[in-house]
Structure 1
Amino acid sequence: MIFFKRSDEENPAPAKPQELEELRGRAKTLSLPEHIAAIVDKELEKLSRTDPSVAEHAIGQGYVDWLCALPWNASTEDSLDFARVERILSGSHAGLFHVKERLLEFLAGRTLAAGAPPHVLVVDDEEIARMNLEHVLKKEGYAVRTAANGQEALDLVRQWSFDLIVTDLKMDKMDGMTLLSEAGKLSPATQIVIVTGYATVQSAVQAMRTGAAHYLTKPISLDELRQTVRELLGGRKALVPSRGPVLCFTGPPGTGKTSIGMAIAEALGRTFHRMSMAGLRDEAELRGHRRTYVGAMPGKIIQAMRRLGVNNPVLMLDEIDKVGQDFRGDPGAAFLEILDPEQNRQFLDLYIDAPFDLSQVMFIATANDLSKLDAPLRDRLEIVNFPGYTEAEKLAIATRHLIPRQCAEHGLVHPLPEFAPEAVRGIIRDYTNEAGVRGLDREIGAVCRKLARIALADGGARYPSRVDTALATSLLGPRRFTHSAAQEHVRPGVVHGLVWSDAGGEIVLVEAASMKGAGQLILTGSLGEVLKESAQTALSYIRGNAEAFGLDPDFFAAMDLHIHIPAGAIPKDGPSAGITILMALLSLLTGRRARPGVALTGEMSLGGMLLPVSGVREKILAALRGGVDTVCLPEGNRPEVEALEPELHSAIRLVLAREASELADVVLQTPKATTEPTA
């Protein structure tokens, strides 16, 4: 057997690909953080020894490309102009005052922090030395205060927050070394520079061990002082970057949660990006995939950062309450790290495998139902409620935004048709029943489509230049919603209640009927356990106070009572229908019909005390949409009532009560009225 020895020419080392050299040159031109630059150098060195034909080479090359493409240090500067922000928010949205106020508060804090100069305290027992140092530092743009000794300086430290203290070492009452120790206890974040004319190696070592940031000798060099202060304060500011807030917009659909997020980004001068979380089931979609195969990719967050090219955008996580979970993990748990300001500074994507700072990102989550979010996640969010729009706000939104956009989309611009305010109000009342304006936008679009068809019917381009109530009704057809709540009930035992759901406030009927029986309470309408308990509590309260209401104490012995809430196919539950059920039973048992245009909300105790409920503004808006003119609420909801807009107070009568008995005459007609014929 003969063996042949191959020469080096027959088995050459793998050549370095051109892409690898391009990556190496690109990495050198980028100002990457030190730990990322080290990772890149290590990966490039590994790739240089790897055969380009193996899969590991493609994986490593893609990894280095991602590291070089991420905006580790690139950011946009916030626009800190209050007038501009207010102008943008007011021009893009009607209403939503509390949301605009929250943004202005955030901007105020950011402006104050960015505009405030660093504060420096100069401590020296020689007046000339204090004055000279104060003059030099003020010319550098710092806010300077002075103290004649350590004790006086310590008093100032208790009252003010200083970024830097420049102190002499030898002073009366309290020397610089004692001040260094005591000030460090009161304000650990404050940096201290020791200045002395008696410099020794021992004193310098002691000062540095005690916590001094720097040690200067007299006669002091002004250039050296300027450079030292500039380095200390500049480095301190870089170590404490501003954190972005984590807002969660919650409320019914169509109330402008997404569009207000876009307006916030525009007002701040930041880049905006929306990511839909609805139906997300794989945790790797957020955290990324490990680099174990060629198709591995980072998660949605890191992908967005690379696409945007900045590390402080406005990221909207839309429909966060609709995230699912299965055997692939719980994506909702990943939000705990992404949205926590204390953790996202070191966010770790499994693909990047290096911490990326998300603390400057302004996260805005949106949700329709907060109850679907885990408690730890809700604790990390600042909830901003979108309760819905009043009729006046809907009219303004339609006039300023919806109508011009729909007309432009359908070619109705020569001329632009005029929508009469009465016609828009008619569309709002008769063709929509919502907290937001999405349905209103669809109906306006339907009117515009029909106008476009009229324009092309005879081959011309003429259409009505004005849309009044009659034309809107003829185009949209019969009205779809009526104001039944404002009508008088034909029999006792029927009362209107106000409830809150994912779609905003709604009006519901509560019906009570009686028949011969043996004291049984029948509950129908797909009621939950809380509602069933509320009905039992209401009945027990009436039985315990039967004589006060003019009833026979044994009225329930030979009678069955049936309580029904229509729309039985829809599950209903919640602690806000107790007073409504009570009034329905009282109306039935006393024969007093409910007054027209009255609706109630509130829970009650077994003793008749009214308990506060949530969603007050949403319920009042629903009452206005339904033609209700009087709303009865628990006294405990007075703070929410006082916070309502003046236009709501003037549009509807609000009655607050502590006890359920106080509302009987407000809700029910007098016995004499029951004998009169109904209209």
Structure 2
Amino acid sequence: MGWFGIRGSSSPKEVKTTDEDVPAKKEHAPVSLPHDSLREKIESAGLSPEILETARAECDRLKSVDPSSPEYAISLNFLEVILSLPWNTTTKDDLDIVRAEEVLNARHYGLGRVKDRILEFLAVKNLCAQSLPRILLVDDELIARENLSIVFEADGFEVEAVANGLEAVAAMEKKPAHIVVSDLKMDGMDGMELLQVLRKKWPDTKVIMITGYATVKTAVAAMRQGADQYLGKPVNLTKLRAYVNELYEKSIRSRHLHGFVLCFNGPPGMGKTSIGKAIAEAMGRKFFRLSLAGLRDEAELRGHRRTYVGAMPGRIIQGIQKARAKNPVIMLDEVDKAVQDFQGDATSVLLEMLDSEQNHAFVDHYLGLPFDLSSVLFICTSNAVERLPAPLRDRLEIIDFPSYTLDEKLQIASRYIFPDQLQLHGLNEKLVNLPIESVRAIIFGYTREAGLRGVRKQLASLCRKLAKQVLTEGNTAVEIDKNMVLELLGAPPFAMASAQSQPKVGLSTSLVWTQNGGEIIFVEVARMKGNKQLILTGSLGEVLRESAQTALSYCRSHAEEFGIDPDFYATSDIHIHIPAGAVSKEGPSAGVAITLALLSLLTGRPIRQDMASTGELSLLGEVLPVGGVREKLMAAQSAGIATVILPQGCASRVQSIEDTVLEDLDIRFVSTMDEAAREALCASPTPDDTV
């Protein structure tokens, strides 16, 4: 039985004083110094031994420093930062999936697949949080097993107690434990033999060895065999419980329960930042946003050393300091725009911050002390994740934000953005009505984007002009039709390309992906007398130029199959042009369209203008898969394209696309250029179009 020493204290008594008891001169009374109150705060802050020792040493040093010295202010600020950090303060997670779904749906319309992925992420954390930490006690003394079981059950552990190593192995095979606390000397299978089996079959399980015959030799032997801690009997329960809690935290990190790092990747204006806020709201956590755009100095994230004048902690520690909890949601915005050059590389700090194997002991240069970031939920956002270094991408779980469909844009603009803009500009929905057709005209004529920032700007401009009109003409109800949109916003800066009706020779339609979403482009081909020149115009990139050269080589090598004169190129020049020359074009997606235009020109067979294609062409005539299929189909749908030629390798991607994107589209999958030509080229040349 353990004995606990209790320091006695006398009960408070009423003490009567007289004038003689009062000091004659108050100026001689002791004055409390700042370091005295700091020492009290440090002792009562509940700091870990390592942090507490550093804070005590700094406080003791503060006593010997002149208050007028700069060193005094540096030490005082350092201690204040230590005391202001939430070393042990966390907020309780609310992992109710139903409520989280309600929050996400209330904040965002659409993005169904993104929301499903986020709810899956929260569901995993919910299940992990529900499972009790499990501890296995192995001791041949019944009283020791019972006493330890009572202690750890009170601490919230699921406890199983067995008498020897053989029973422990059987219990582990039935249901593995996070932590094993084992005696060393036992019948059947002793602790050292058990330790060898545990390290072979369950290497992630943490093991604490306990023995009444504690010697340096046995301790060294146990640690060499793989024990995580070693204690002698009689057991110090306070130390044992501290070891168990510490090892369980390490066990959680080894199972990556805190290691999820989401990266929202997609075009601007998709609501990536607001989705991060919604996740924090759904989980009941604090939210902190940090923009990394243009950041080149890693000291911004890791802090400056205290030897520098004006040194301060990094922005990560500052954010946690403001959140007043060690488990906030930290959004690292625009992570792909962090500068990487010879002057610095801020992304190198992220490798440690986002790695669950390292961030439990993140060291800020200002603090010089390890701070546990493993409880932080990091969420990154980017517009082009390809710009990130490969080691950093490996630490991220990338969730792509697809472009909004036309229907989603219409609903979000009508139901959310426009009412908000009316309220911000002093108007109301009873005074102003915006029909859905007017919203469609704004989206098509005044914006070119995958997201909704441009729509928000145009609706804000519309509301400003309406506010002026209300003040000058009075509060009369207004319905904004298409003509009024044109009158208020001016001529549309964009014109939607649309499919042509009649088949034409040497003109094909291609579907391409841009940062603004999908678009259609036209490929024009002309032939004239010359000396084997391939003329390429239209601000084409290097990859697109190579696609044009590949297309011409394919036509020359397969001339006989298509009934083309094999020497057509001997005395000819070929000119390939893609209009809208002010816009640079790059990528392999137009390879099939360029080849179709060339075959049409050389055979005299017109191309169907209600058909568009996308796909990369190999030199042997194979049609290779490309990306951005969803956005390209949306562009075809908006342009009035009836039939789309896609590579056979894209068939699986099409199956996962929403029905609203696929409706009214006839999709033809092809594997070779010969199949694509049979789909796109008319059966025979017309007299007027034959070359």
TM over 0.5: yes
Identify the residue that residue 20 of structure 2 maps to in structure 1. none
Task: Give the stretch that moved more between structures: 165-174 or 651-660.
Answer: 165-174
- Once residues 154 and 50 of structure 2 are traced to their aligned partners in structure 1, the CA distance between those partners, rounded to angstroms, is 37
Q: Does 1:94 align with 2:109?
A: yes
The 5 A counterparts of 1:381-400 are 381-400=396-415
Distance 1:245 1:587, change over 3 A: same
The answer to whether the 8 Å contact 2:263/2:381 transfers is yes
Task: Give, in angstroms, the shift of residue 582 of structure 1.
Answer: 1.0
Q: Residue 303 in 1 paired to residue 318 in 2?
A: yes
Q: Which deviates more, 565-574 or 149-158?
A: 149-158
User: SS where residue 402 of structure 2 aligns?
Assistant: coil
Whether the 8 Å CA contact 2:86–2:321 is kept in 1: the answer is yes
Deviation at 1:51, TM superposition (A): 1.9
CA distance, structure 1, for counterparts of residue 197 and residue 429 of structure 2 = 77
Q: Which amino acid aligns with 1:637?
A: C
Counterpart check, 1:237 vs 2:248: yes
Matched, 1:628 2:641: yes
Secondary structure of the equivalent of 2:67? coil
Q: Which of 366, 372, 393 is residue 357 of structure 1 equivalent to?
A: 372
Match in the other structure for 1:56: 71
Q: How many residues align?
A: 653
* Preserved contact between residue 605 and residue 611 of structure 1 (Cα < 8 Å): yes
Helix, strand or coil: the match of 1:99? helix
Q: Using the alignment, how far apart are the partners of 1:529 and 1:548 within structure 2? A: 29
Write the deviation string for residues 90-129 of structure 1: whole angstroms up to 9, x where unpaired.
Answer: 1211222232222222212211111112335578999999
Shift of 1:200: 6.8
Deviation at 1:86, TM superposition (A): 0.6
Contact 1:169 1:177 in 2 (8 A): yes
| Structure 2 letter corresponding to 1:462 | T
Alignment RMSD, CA only?
A: 3.7
Pairwise CA distance, 1:144: 6.2
- The alpha carbon displacement at 1:434 in A equals 1.7
Tell me, in whole angstroms, the C-alpha distance in 2 between the residues paired with 1:524 and 1:243. Answer: 53
**Cα 1:214–1:302 shift into 2, 3 Å:** closer
How does 1:471-550 map onto structure 2 within 5 Å? 471-488=484-501, 491-550=504-563
Partner of 1:41: 56
Residue number among 38, 42, 45 corresponding to 1:23 in the alignment:
38
Q: Could you tell me which of 172, 177, 202 is aligned with 1:157?
A: 172
Distance 1:42 1:202 in 2: 34
Distance 2:651 2:373 in 1: 40
Matches within 5 A, 1:437-448: 437-448=452-463
Structure 2 length-normalised TM: 0.84
Candidates 262, 272, 276, aligned match of 1:247: 262
- Specify the alignment match of 1:109 in structure 2: 124
- Amino acid in the other structure paired with 2:566: P
- Confirm or deny that 1:640 pairs with 2:640: no
Name the CA shift for 1:73/1:261 in 2 (closer, same or farther; >3 Å): same
Structure 2 residue corresponding to 1:461, chosen from 468, 471, 475: 475
- Secondary structure of the 1:336 match is helix
**2-side partners of 1:225 and 1:296: how far apart?**
42
* More displaced 10-residue stretch of structure 1: 255-264 or 494-503: 494-503
SS of structure 1 residue aligned to 2:172: helix
CA distance in 1, matches of 2:427, 2:297: 45
Structure-2 change in CA distance of 1:327 and 1:159 (3 Å): same
**CA distance, structure 2, for counterparts of residue 41 and residue 227 of structure 1:** 23
Letter in 2 for 1:410: H
- Asked if the contact 2:422–2:429 (Cα under 8 Å) also holds between the matched residues in 1, the reply is no
Provide the C-alpha distance between the structure 1 equivalents of 2:468 and 2:654, rounded to a whole number of angstroms: 47
Query: CA 1:228–1:325 in 2, change beyond 3 Å: closer, same or farther?
Result: closer
Find the residue that maps to 1:94 and give its secondary structure.
coil
Distance, in Å, in 1 between the alignment partners of 2:180 and 2:626 is 53
User: In the alignment, which residue of structure 2 is the partner of 1:322?
Assistant: 337
Match runs of 1:82-481 below 5 Å:
82-120=97-135, 143=158, 151=166, 153-158=168-173, 160-164=175-179, 178-190=193-205, 201=213, 210=222, 211=227, 234-239=245-250, 240=252, 242-325=257-340, 328-413=343-428, 415=430, 417-458=432-473, 460-464=474-478, 466-481=479-494
Identify which range, 119-128 or 608-617, moves more after superposition: 119-128
Structure 2: how far apart are the matches of 1:338 and 1:310? 17
Runs of at least 5 residues in structure 2 that lack an aligned partner in the other structure: 1-29
How far apart are the structure 1 equivalents of 2:438 and 2:567? 55
**8 Å CA contact 2:445, 2:492 repeated in 1:** yes
SS in 2 for 1:365: strand
CA contact (8 A) 1:283 1:328 kept: no
Give CA-to-partner distance per residue, 1:331-374, whole Å, 9 cap, x none: 23332223333232222222222222222222222221223222
DSSP-derived class of the 1:243 partner: coil
Q: Secondary structure at the match of 1:654?
A: strand
Superposed displacement of residue 75, structure 1: 1.8
In the superposition, relative to structure 1, how do residues 334 and 215 fare at CA in structure 2: closer, same or farther (>3 Å)? closer
**Equivalent residue letter for 2:397:** E
Is 2:647 aligned against 1:649?
no
**Structure-2 residue corresponding to 1:601:** 614
Decide whether the 8 Å contact of 2:213 with 2:232 is kept in 1.
no
Deviation of 1:83 (Å) = 0.3
Report Cα offsets for 1:548-596 as digits up to 9, x if no partner.
Answer: 2221111111111111223334433223221121112122222333323
| Distance (whole Å) between structure 1 residues aligned to residue 456 and residue 404 of structure 2 | 14
Offset from partner CA, 1:369-413 (integer Å, 9 cap, x none) = 223222222222222111211111112212332011011111122
State the alpha-carbon separation in 1 of the partners of residues 355 and 657 from structure 2.
32
Matches of 2:687 and 2:372, distance apart in 1: 70
Give the letter aligned to residue 271 of structure 2.
Answer: G
Deviation at 1:140, TM superposition (A): 8.3
Distance 1:327 1:149, change over 3 A: closer
Letter in 2 for 1:278: A
SS at match of 1:484: coil
Q: Once the two structures are superposed, what CA deviation does each residue of 1:510-557 show, in whole Å capped at 9, x if it has no partner?
A: 222111112221222333332222111111111111122221111111
2-structure distance, mates of 1:511, 1:384: 38
Amino acid at match of 1:671: S
- 1:79 match: 94
AA matched with 2:528: M
Q: CA deviation at 1:185?
A: 2.8
SS in 2 for 1:404: helix
Amino acid at match of 1:665: R
Give unpaired runs (5+ residues) of structure 1: 1-14
1:461 CA drift (Å): 2.0
Conserved in 2, the CA contact under 8 Å of 1:523 and 1:563? yes
Q: Given that residues 504 and 608 in structure 2 are in contact (C-alpha distance below 8 angstroms), is that contact kept between their aligned partners in structure 1? A: no
Instruction: Give the deviation of 1:237 after TM superposition.
Output: 2.9
Q: Tell me which moved more, 266-275 or 521-530.
A: 521-530
CA displacement at 1:73 relative to structure 2: 1.9
SS at match of 2:344: coil
SS at match of 2:42: helix
For 1:231 and 1:328, how far apart are their aligned partners in 2? Answer: 44
**Would the aligned equivalents of 1:593 and 1:674 in 2 still touch at CA under 8 Å?**
no
Counterpart residue number, 2:23: none
CA contact (8 A) 1:527 1:572 kept: yes
1:166 Cα offset (Å): 7.3
Q: What residue is the counterpart of 1:10 in the other structure?
A: none
**Residue identity matched to 2:660:** E
How far apart, in 2, do the equivalents of 1:661 and 1:570 lie? 31
After the TM superposition, which of the residue ranges 394-403 and 136-145 deviates more from structure 2?
Answer: 136-145
1:632 is paired with a residue whose SS is strand
